[in-house]
Amino acid sequence: MEKVNEVLLKPWKFLRRTKSYKEVARALWEANPISKQILGICSTLAVTVQMKTALVMCFGLTLVVAFSSLTISLMRRVIPKNIRIMAEVIVIATLVIIADELLKAFMYETSKQLSVFVGLIITNCIVLGRTEGYALMNPPFRSFMDGLANGIGYSSVLMGVAFARELLGSGKLFGHPVIPAGVYEWGYINNGLMLLAPGAFIIIGLFVWLEQTLLSKKK
Amino acid sequence: MESLISIALNSVFVGNILLAYFLGMCSFLAISKNMKTATGLGIGVLCVLTITTPANWLIYNRLLAPGALAWAGLAQLNLSYLKLVLFIATIAAIVQGLEMLIDRFSPALYAALGVFLPLITVNCAILGVSLFMVERDYTFTESVVYGVGSGAGWALAIISMSAIQQKLRYADAPEGLKGFAINMITTGLMAMGFMLFAGISLE
């Protein structure tokens, strides 16, 4: 009775004690170093020139991670051990095809800009890593939450890169000019390098540098 | 002929699959510490790309493309959405077959290359090249040249990266910059170098 009262009065306290919450928190805060997430990001860096395309990509990726974790977790007792990678890849590929077709149907222009990079979610290390490392051993709801949290954690890094690249490269955010015209009259020029591939590499390098320095200070 | 040369040059330098399209980063960062293993992986990727790109071209243009099944009387069928699944299955099968062949005929080569082959299946560069090949509407010969060129470009990038990393060991970088961060910035500088080839025109 006391427990029920506690749940009714302080739902957030109860929520915090559930395993799903702990997993989500772990994926979002503790186990989200940029360097680790970037390893999975690799191919998606190409779409960080604009925040809009990056956002669509993040959305697609988060859904694919979440639902592939859910599906694999539901099937975890019937998948034979030897062919589990094959089964996982097939599930992920099917979900990616669905995402790709949906994009083509409802957001044709963006899907043209994303070109092959939606398809490359299949070989993304994070998606396979979550299904292989978590969903195979855990119940469906928790796996779903784990996939969702990892997708969001990863998206936050990607959006950070896109923010820096679009702001410095073309002076815009989500396609809207944010740098006042007066600044240009004083001689400010957009940094075209940020729009090219080297810009992404350098931004990531600087992000990780910052993160490492902050983390080492904390210790 | 000229178009073939420009495709080759473009895929090795300006449109380098690793430095311009970020494909194959996972293995690039994980393996580039040692020059010998980097060379092994680079050659492995080159071999696999040389075989899988034309193979996937045949699969796409003979089975999946809109109207490709006209010879079977199914001209209105468009199976191109299946390309993701079929491409990845083909790549996995070819890598597996290659591994068995090398093991059978050249144990020495297998000892040098064998450990890298399974890694290559999940390398996004392999699938990426096949998808780009479809998107850019290459002919069969062009797809062969593109496959070889991309493989060579990837190998060149990882081998030079491993050489740079050996020198970097003696560099005195700030604490937070060491390791991953400095590798990314080095890659960025390398990408800039590769982009300089954009000025070359053959006409």
What is the ipTM score, two decimals? 0.82
Q: Which residues of B touch A199 (CB under 8 A)?
A: 188
Q: Which residues of A touch B83 (CB under 8 A)?
A: 119
**Domain parsing of chain B, residue ranges:** 2-195
Residue B114: the pLDDT is 66
pLDDT digits (tens, 9 = 90+) for B144-172: 999 999 999 999 999 999 999 888 888 88
Residue A33 in domain: no
Q: Chain centroid to CA B175: how far? A: 33
**Length in residues, chain B:** 203
Query: What residues of B are in the A interface, CB distance below 8 Å?
Result: 19-26, 29, 81-85, 88, 92, 122-124, 126-128, 131-132, 135, 174-177, 180-185, 187-189, 191-192, 195
| Closest approach of B73 to chain A, Cα-based (Å) | 26
**Could you give phi then psi for residue A176, rounded to 5 degrees?**
-100, 130
pLDDT band of A128, cuts 50, 70, 90: confident
Q: Chain centroid to CA A144: how far? A: 14
Residue B152: the pLDDT is 93
Question: Is the pLDDT score of A188 beyond 70?
Answer: yes
Mean pLDDT of the region A113-126: 80
Calculate the average pLDDT of chain B. 84
Residue A109: the pLDDT is 86
Residue A176: the pLDDT is 81
Q: In b/e form, how buried is each residue of A5-15, taking b as 16+ CB within 10 angstroms?
A: eeeeeeeeeee
Residue B89: the pLDDT is 86
Q: Running DSSP on this structure, what letter comes out for residue A196? A: S
Closest CB to A45: pick one of B22, B83, B181.
B22
Residue B147: the pLDDT is 93
Mean pLDDT of the region A169-181: 82
Mean pLDDT of the region A149-155: 84
Mean pLDDT of the region B45-50: 90
Lowest model confidence (mean pLDDT) among A31-35, A169-173, B124-128, B155-159: A31-35
> For chain A, how many structural domains are there in total?
1
| Closest approach of B177 to chain A, Cα-based (Å) | 5
Selected residue of A208, A210, A211, A219 to mutate for chain B interface (largest B Cβ count, 10 A): A208
Query: What residues of A are in the B interface, CB distance below 8 Å?
Result: 35, 38-40, 42-46, 86, 89-90, 93-94, 96-97, 100-101, 115-116, 119-120, 122-125, 128, 193, 196-202, 204-206, 208-213, 216
**Cβ separation B175–A43 shorter than 8 A:** no
**Cβ separation A97–B81 shorter than 8 A:** yes
Whole-angstrom Cα distance, residue B140 to residue B133? 10
pLDDT band of B55, cuts 50, 70, 90: very high
Mean pLDDT of the region A204-214: 83
Closest CB to B195: pick one of A44, A196, A205.
A196
Whole-angstrom Cα distance, residue B177 to residue B184? 10
pLDDT digits (tens, 9 = 90+) for B99-134: 888 888 878 778 777 667 777 776 788 888 998 898
Residues B52, B121 contacting (CB under 8 angstroms) = no
Whole-angstrom Cα distance, residue B147 to residue B136? 13
Mean pLDDT of the region A206-216: 81
- Residue B22 CB contacts under 8 Å (≥ 6 apart), including other chains: A42, A43, A44, A45, A46, A197, A200
Two structure tokens written together for A28? 């979002």
Residues A62, B44 contacting (CB under 8 angstroms) = no
Calculate the average pLDDT of chain A. 80
**Length in residues, chain A:** 219
Whole-angstrom Cα distance, residue B200 to residue B15? 13
Inter-axis angle of helices A84-106 and B83-105, to 10 degrees?
A: 150
Helix (H, G, I), strand (E, B) or coil at B171: coil
Nearest to B38 by CA among B129, B154, B169, B136: B154
Whole-angstrom Cα distance, residue B179 to residue A86? 33
Q: Which residues of A touch B26 (CB under 8 A)?
A: 39-40, 42, 125
Residue A42: the pLDDT is 65
Residue A24 in domain: no
Residue A67: the pLDDT is 92
Element (H, E) at A176: strand A176-177
* Closest alpha carbon within chain B to A206: B181
Residue A19 in domain: no
Closest CB to A90: pick one of B85, B123, B174.
B85
Mean pLDDT of the region A30-41: 62
Whole-angstrom Cα distance, residue B55 to residue B87? 9
Residue A10: the pLDDT is 62
Residue B51: the pLDDT is 92
**Cβ separation B188–A96 shorter than 8 A:** no
Question: Is the pLDDT score of A32 beyond 70?
Answer: no
Mean pLDDT of the region B69-94: 81
Residue A30: the pLDDT is 62
Mean pLDDT of the region A201-212: 85
In which domain, by residue range, is A70 found?
A: 39-218
| Closest approach of B108 to chain A, Cα-based (Å) | 28
**Cβ separation B135–A115 shorter than 8 A:** yes
Element (H, E) at B142: helix B140-168
Whole-angstrom Cα distance, residue A162 to residue A171? 12
